[in-house]
Amino acid sequence: MSTLASRISQNATLAALFNGSLIALALSGMMRGLSSAYIIPYLDAQGISASQIGILTSVAALLELSLIPLLSMWSDRVNRQRRLFRSIVLGYAITVLLIGIFPQEIMLMVGFVVLNMSVNAAFLFGVQLGFSSAMQKGKANFGHFRTASAIGFIGGNYLVSYLFGKGGYATIFVASSIVGAATTLFARSLPVSTIAKDVKLTTPAPRRKAMYVVFVSQFFTLLGIRSGYAFWLLHFQDRLHMDIAQVSLVVVLAGLLEIPFFLYMDRLVKRFKSTQIYIWSAIGLALGWVMVGAVSGLGWLILILFYRGMMFGLWNMSILLVINEQSHPANVSTNQAWAQITIPSLAMLVGGAPMGSLYEHGTPFMYFVVCAIFTALGAVLLMGGLAWLERREGNINQSPA
């Protein structure tokens, strides 16, 4: 009888932790949804010029590609990834509160840099801890964690229209701060570390060679994807004559259409390797950019958004899993930071200005074809690089001692 009671208690505790983890990721997504897309319009409304915002964006990118990996390396060394996640979320919550209630120029500028530097890290480290929680419990429900984050983000954006009417930017930023504080409380349900409690490391875990192939692939894939997303909504406004309300509807619809494929990913990884799914979906995204460049009506736009939801949902899930599989658990946070924060920031620092010039002086179709080429190139490099590495290591293992 006592054994049965013990098992029931243990299962109840695990269920509570699992649900708490999902709530933490949903709240983290809501925190970002309530504020991240509205920082630049807020700065513009406060008199910060576009040139100043451009400079601040570059400063934030430089800090993000250097400071975030250093912080993730520290968290990997001390095995306290949850502490890093909670600290980043708390820093975001405090900063967005300060810029909302103290709109002085210096506060706005510093706050913009901090928020831009931490928004991607808050998403990335939270989802990674969710994945680690699933793996430590022997579950393959990765899509649930990514979906929780997406639902929170969409919900936050949906609430903005209501809250903004009540009190403007200050109201949505205060709400974002409150949700961020709640996130840090529920984050206690996430695992302390990305490695299991019974694993003890005496030396730092080495970075596997395959990760360098992933880094190179990410440089080109994210150059294509981020460049495309930098101008796709503006392209819709110009080509389809959409107003802001319609554009916001596109953003919400695009997010909603990703969710089924986040969940479906859990089934796909039982049949295919995550690297295969990454390659297929990245090439699919490349074809999607060609479609975006050629869009001519709202009817086609709906089809494109559905197609994009499928491809982006699978790609976004697969890259998280690829990094998980190619990393040692003790340095997976650092590798995630490098692959999804440092490398993309570096790609945009190198290619952002040329791609912006191409959009301004070339045709939209030409621009999105170039985005497609970079996106597909990253997928091809991953496929070829991993195949070459597998053959090379196989030859080494077969050679006589």
Please indicate, yes or no, whether the overall pTM of this predicted structure exceeds 0.75.
no
Query: Where in the sequence of the chain do the CATH 1.20.1250.20 domains occur?
Result: 12-189, 210-398
CA dihedral 379, 68, 188, 146 (to 10 degrees): -20
Fold that domain 210-398 belongs to in CATH: Growth Hormone; Chain: A; (1.20.1250)
Which stretch of DSSP H or E encloses residue 79?
A: none
Q: How many CA atoms lie within 13 A of 254 on its CB side?
A: 16
Domain 12-189, what architecture?
Up-down Bundle (1.20)
Please list, residue by residue across 6-15, b when 16 or more beta carbons sit within 10 angstroms of its beta carbon and e when fewer do.
Answer: eeeeeeeeee
Helix 210-240 × helix 274-294 angle, to 10°: 20
Reported residue count of the chain is 401
Report the share of the chain in percent with pLDDT over 70.
Answer: 79
Rounded CA-CA distance 34/27 in Å is: 10
Q: What is the spatial distance between Cα 53 and Cα 379, in angstroms, rounded to a whole number?
A: 33
How does residue 329 score in pLDDT terms, banded at 50, 70 and 90?
low
At 159, list the tokens.
């609430």
Would you call 166 exposed, middle or buried from its count of C-beta atoms within 10 A (0-12, 13-18, 19+)? Answer: exposed
Task: Find the range with the poorest average confidence among 134-143, 169-178, 267-276, 313-322.
Answer: 134-143
pLDDT attached to residue 134: 63
- Residue that wins the pLDDT comparison between 201 and 338: 338
Q: Over the stretch 244-293, which tens digit does the pLDDT of each residue have? A: 556 667 777 777 777 777 777 777 777 888 788 888 888 989 998 888 88
3-state secondary structure of 196: coil
Q: Where are the alpha helices (DSSP H) in 102-139?
A: 105-136
Burial class (CB in 10 A: 0-12, 13-18, 19+), 56: buried
pLDDT higher at 326 or 182: 182
